[in-house]
Amino acid sequence: MFGLKSECVLKVDEEFHDLEEYQGRVARWCPGCGDNGILAATQRLCRDEQLPPEKTVFVSGIGCAARFPHYMGTYGFHGLHGRALPTAQGVKIRRPDLKVFVNMGDGDCCSIGTAHWIHAVRMNMNMVAMLHDNNIYGLTKNQVSPTTPKGMTTATTPHGSVLREMNPLTATLGITNVSFVAQAVEWVPDLLYQVIRAAYQHKGFAFVRILQRCPHFMPTLFDSLLSNPDDIMVLDSDDGVKLSEATAKVYKTREPHDTADLNLAREVAGTEGKVPVGILYRNASVPCYDELRKPARLHTPEQARTVLDRAFDRFGIFPGASGTRHGTGDETDRRTDA
């Protein structure tokens, strides 16, 4: 026997997004490319955090890593070389309700995009920036990048790279307003996932450098690290990453760390020999530009048209329309008087 109609309650379950919803096109990276692992960890994060696909945006520049937005089942913007960060900042300042992620290669971020990188750290807007660092330009076929190790032979350095490679971690940690810096290697999925998740949960600009294999152009680059897991130094802190038992058995080199200590983070980032992984620095109290500069309310289409018309009219030339402004106004007056 059913109860009274008034007792009926229509309960609509909240929509659950499963992993498939975050999967876009089939990835076309080379077999064994480390970008595949970064993609898998990111899709898992989106599922676990239940990010609404229609409120999530992946922004990229140009390069192999920049294909990332195509492979996500979210919104995306595949932009210009080196310009992923200002594009992402534009999205965030106008639509603070969106979750914004940025995927850049080392050429993209550390070479042509360097100025944007510096100011993105300083502005500390809420987003996750992933640096896929394979130490080479892959898409454009094997040119030296700022992170290519000294002595490495590439298409543009046939006798070996002559400059010492730059360190994106120490560089980022030296920028005013830095608020989150972490490092992971893509071949340890447990660690990678936790680092990306911590970056997502951080309030501010979270910079994650991910050492990424490029088997096509740098087939032996990380061989030593892969065969000597003890050279990977896991940073241990109460608020750091917590490795699974299985991962912890393989990666036994631990270093006590304090993620609130900027000087310590800089020291660890510059460590020679061992590769530090985990959260190097975290400071959620740094002001965020997108919170300091609240966007104006969104215009209706009619309002937007009126504003645009007014802006265009300032620069229009209207022969015979005496008194119509052109630029500062003086030029138009001279033309109409002539």
Binding stretches for ligand SF4 (CB under 6 A) = 29-30, 33, 35, 64, 134, 138, 214-217
CB of 274 to ligand SF4, least distance (A): 25
Helix axes 189-201, 35-48, angle to 10 degrees: 50
- For residues 30 and 248, which CB has a smaller minimum distance to ligand SF4 in the complex? 30
CB 182 within 8 A of CB 195: yes
Q: Give me the residue label for tokens 């000087």.
A: 263
CB of 153 to ligand SF4, least distance (A): 16
Among 120, 278, 111, which Cα is nearest to 194's? Answer: 278
Q: Give me the residue label for tokens 């329309």.
A: 321
- Distance from C-alpha of 80 to C-alpha of 87, rounded to nearest angstrom: 9
CB of 141 to ligand SF4, least distance (A): 8
What is the chain's Cα-based Rg?
A: 25
- For residues 207 and 217, which CB has a smaller minimum distance to ligand SF4 in the complex? 217
CB 284 within 8 A of CB 179: yes
Number of Cβ within a 10 Å radius of residue 263: 10
- For residues 141 and 249, which CB has a smaller minimum distance to ligand SF4 in the complex? 141
CB of 138 to ligand SF4, least distance (A): 3
Half-sphere exposure at residue 218, Cβ-oriented, CA atoms within 13 angstroms: 26
The structure tokens listed for 269 are 């980032």
- For residues 208 and 214, which CB has a smaller minimum distance to ligand SF4 in the complex? 214
3-state helix, strand, coil in the chain (%, to 5): 35, 15, 45
- For residues 213 and 257, which CB has a smaller minimum distance to ligand SF4 in the complex? 213
CB of 154 to ligand SF4, least distance (A): 13
CB of 234 to ligand SF4, least distance (A): 25
CB of 217 to ligand SF4, least distance (A): 5
Longest CA–CA span in the chain (Å) reads 92
